[in-house]
Chains A and B, each alone.
Chain A
Amino acid sequence: MSELKFTNEHECIMVDGDVAWVGITPYAQEALGDLVYVELPEVGKQVKKGEDFAVVESVKTAAEVYSPVDGEVIEANDNMPDDLALISKPVADGGWIAKIKISDPSQLEGLMDEAAYQDYLKTVD
């Protein structure tokens, strides 16, 4: 299993070969509060880096989930809308929202590792 990567929009990514498993970080979950719905992308959807591909709805608000890379959605976590507790699991262990086939692996280089993300969290409210 590869190490985790992070975006400054609080997506958490596990890279598995040429596929990115994308979920949201504990920080994002905490900020959102109690979840009530997850809107999944359709399989086959083409996404661009920075484009939203899913929406997480909490009692408070709706938050978009952004793709960390260009690529194609090859799988959506169909269990998640019926079992919202999955979102708090590790990405590799059911917490992924979608799997995206990476078109340009060089885009991964711009993502943060765990240590950099922890440092980044100290700079956000």
Chain B
Amino acid sequence: MKYTALHSAHIELGAKMGEFAGYDMPLYYKLGVMKEHEWTRASCGLFDVSHMGQAMFKGAGAAELIEKLTPSSYEKVKPFRTKYTVLTNEQGGIIDDLMVTKTDDDQFHFVLNAGCKDKDIAWIKQHLSEDIEFHHYDDWALIALQGPKAEEVVREVLGYDLSDLPYMAVWPRDDFEMFISRLGYTGEDGFEISVPNKDALELWNKLAAHAAVEPIGLAARDSLRLEMGYCLYGHDINDTTTPVEADIAWVMGNGDNTGFIGADVILPQKENGALRKRVGVKLTDKGVAREGAEIRNESDEKIGELTSGGFGPSVQGAIGQGYVPIEYAQEGTKIFVNVRGRNIAAEIASMPFVQPSTKSMKKAA
């Protein structure tokens, strides 16, 4: 089992621990999943996401390489701006979804999923030229601060006024060993703070001591992201689902990048549409449906499966995601989810299930 630099803090806080991607991680703390979820939406949640991979490459050809590895385009992206995108394989499938920050014309930082980081790094290294330097920040921690009070907490605890930092941007400072990004996985305003392991515990403790802050485990992190319709890799997307099928073709923007790996599969699909699509599912009758539950049409024929599912505390109802043939993908389509042999009435719903409260991506005035 692997441990993050904050493991001792979780134990001290009385977290229920569990294995995630090879790491012993906090699933929930004393508040419990429901209250942690609600606390994040109402105040400020503190998350240890140090299990995620942090890496960087730079050098001549780095801009070309990132446009080969991901279907997004970066030419017009300003430095210190972050994009959500995917690594694609030759078949057009998704190797991982990730955050890419352009820190210079030929320098890009990544945040990778914990369960994928080893294969991602091997994949990226396979494509490096001699002029490109690669670095894995395997001795850095990542702390997320999410919720409407996150900005206030950063100001009061760290003394940084980030009110002008736009959504999906990194604070452009190089005078200390810390990266602060305004983004997250909850739909709330908030930040992810990357620091060397040696500084992580002190930072965590300072943030955790603020009255507006509660530590939040991976279970509430999952219900928060599910309400936003965000993909969880290995569940809602994998190496056999394309970005078009996953309904995240928007990562391709205007389609300026046509030379990425898998483009010959993905670009025609973007043009002509895919046969199946990732959709939101909302139960209209009582019950809860989880990953693996069959999606059935009104004739009781199986048309797909839930790839995620559970109770959405802010929705106050059961929600999920799954893939269905395109003819069933329209919002409002009546379906059933089959749970333990029983059909529960449901419908295709638009995502996010909850309106996001993230800041504008435009620079504040």
Contacts and interface: CB of A to CB of B under 8 A. Distances in A.
A55 B340 contact: yes
Contacts of B311: 36-37, 57, 59
Contacts of B313: 59
A43 B70 CA distance: 56
A34 B288 contact: no
A48 interface: no
Interface string B309-352: 01101000010000000000000000000011010000000000
B288 A37 contact: yes
Interface string A57-70: 11110100000000
A contacts with B: majority SS: strand
Size category of the A interface is: 10 to 19
Contacts of A58: 33
Contact of B287 (A33, A34, A39, A60): A39
Size category of the B interface is: 20 to 34
A37 B287 contact: yes
A117 B166 CA distance: 56
A33 B32 contact: yes
A81 interface: yes
A81 B37 CA distance: 22
B33 A81 contact: no
Contacts of B290: 62
A1 B318 CA distance: 38
A117 B29 CA distance: 26
A33 B33 contact: yes
Contacts of B37: 59
Given A33-B34, A37-B287, A60-B28, 10 more contacts: A33-B33, A34-B33, A34-B34, A36-B288, A39-B340, A55-B340, A59-B37, A59-B313, A62-B288, A81-B286
